[in-house]
Amino acid sequence: MIDKNIFRQYDIRGVVDTQLNKKNTKLIAYHLGKAIQEKSKKNAYVVVGYDIRKHSKMLFEALVSGLNKAGCRVLNIGLVATGVNYFASYQKFEINNKKIKPNASIMITGSHNAKKYNGFKITVNNEPFFDQDLMNVYENIINSKEIKIPKDVSFTKINAKKPYIKYMLKQFAHLKGLNQKFVIDCGNGVADTVLTKILDKLELNYKALHPKPDGKFPNHHPDPSVKKNLKELKLLLKGKRDLGFAYDGDADRIAVLTKKHNIKGDTLAYLFSKTMKNPVIIGEVTYSQNIFDEINTHGKSIMDKTGYSNLRLKLKELNADLAAEVSGHIFFNDRYYGYDDAIYATLRVLELVSSGMNLDKEIKKLPKVYTSSNIEISVNENEKFKIMDNIKKLIKEPQRGFPVIKDIIKVDGIRIVFEHGWALVRASNTNPILVTKYEASSHATAVSYQRAVENLIQKAIDELNSTSS
């Protein structure tokens, strides 16, 4: 029996050996390959790359076997960053004297999760394969007779890193010799399968921390959203270096640090928008309201759901210039292909600096508010959406003393707009938690909103427990 929980909203991900193994990966790949063939309406060419985790190559062999059984033709690009994997699906490669453009891409990666995890990020026809598409694969596995899938690791090896590096060098040739001292922290993930080659060719002044890919992640875990993972980088920023970049395990998510700020994705979206003419920027529900307001002074901001697949689709649907998650997924449709690539984002930040922008001064101009970090509330995986339903019912008639509600935005969970700020409550699509966040004109006001909303959440949980007991 295959574990349904590995079929998450945005990708397939689970604990290797217990949830994800050779046998079920072959089965997943076979049914995934059939779905790719159907969407492509032809014998599909599928780009497959993998990250540095110790089990990625094992999963690669199983995945390729299943894809081959389904009739797909595998293009192996080897150890790469996720951005290179996506990039390859937009290019044409010479195969048997023909120019072939891939129909789909699969990246084998556990992203920022713990070492025991791995999984698959999938695109078909350059669109995310997620949500119901993934559930359809699960249903097909459950409803089909189990078939024998022999080991078949035949593939065509292609070099996707070479054209990727060439593209970046051409796009950012104007950065050559930039006099900006900065630090990159690759966290022993896959960022440096291409990154330092690009930086060296551009003759940039950088120091690299933990560039060598190592699936044991011996120095720190590659998750730049966790403060302790940025200690070394921050220490170097106390010296002569003014700018720092950190990456997650597959290098599709970035952290940007100055001496004064850890610049979150919403603020980066604002900074990038300053250099665009009449920009259309897509943000998600956890953004500071100030960011939406400030972007609207020179362009248009749109609030959408959290999640990298959601944002990528919305970006394409609206032909917007940029989308970004607070967590550091940055999607450039302006001068790029519209997917999240932390290596490309690094060069765009350096471009801001090259143009004369002082990042700290620009951030200082933003109106001052207090914004909490994401606050997680552990709940039962099977109950989190039922709890959200209860919260939505309770918020219609809140208890006496609850802050006055000006608006309720239901784009993703509920964003409750108060007189002096807002509160967000949403169910995570990947973990058994509710995520909350608070913003207000002062810390004290934000705390008062938090207390009121947490009481509401607890009441919703209690009501669910009382009906189920």
Which amino acid belongs to residue 295? I
Rounded to whole angstroms, the Cα distance separating 120 from 443 reads: 40
- In which element (H, E) is residue 37 found? helix 22-40
Rounded to whole angstroms, the Cα distance separating 307 from 324 reads: 10
Beta strands in 129-268 (DSSP E): 156-157, 182-185, 206-209, 243-247, 254-258, 262-263
Rounded to whole angstroms, the Cα distance separating 278 from 321 reads: 9
- Chain centre distance of CA 419: 32
Among the residues of 208-264, which ranges form H helices? 231-237
Rounded to whole angstroms, the Cα distance separating 84 from 90 reads: 10
Q: Which one of 56, 105, 111, 327 is the catalytic residue?
A: 111
Instruction: Answer for the pair 49, 13: CB distance below 8 angstroms, yes or no.
Output: no
The answer to whether residue 111 is catalytic is yes
Distances (CA, A) of 367 to 264, 301, 327, 374: 16, 17, 21, 21
Assign 433 to helix, strand or coil. strand
Gyration radius from the chain CA atoms? 23
Burial 424-440 (b: 16+ CB within 10 A, else e): bbbbbbeeebbbbbbbb
Active site residues: 111
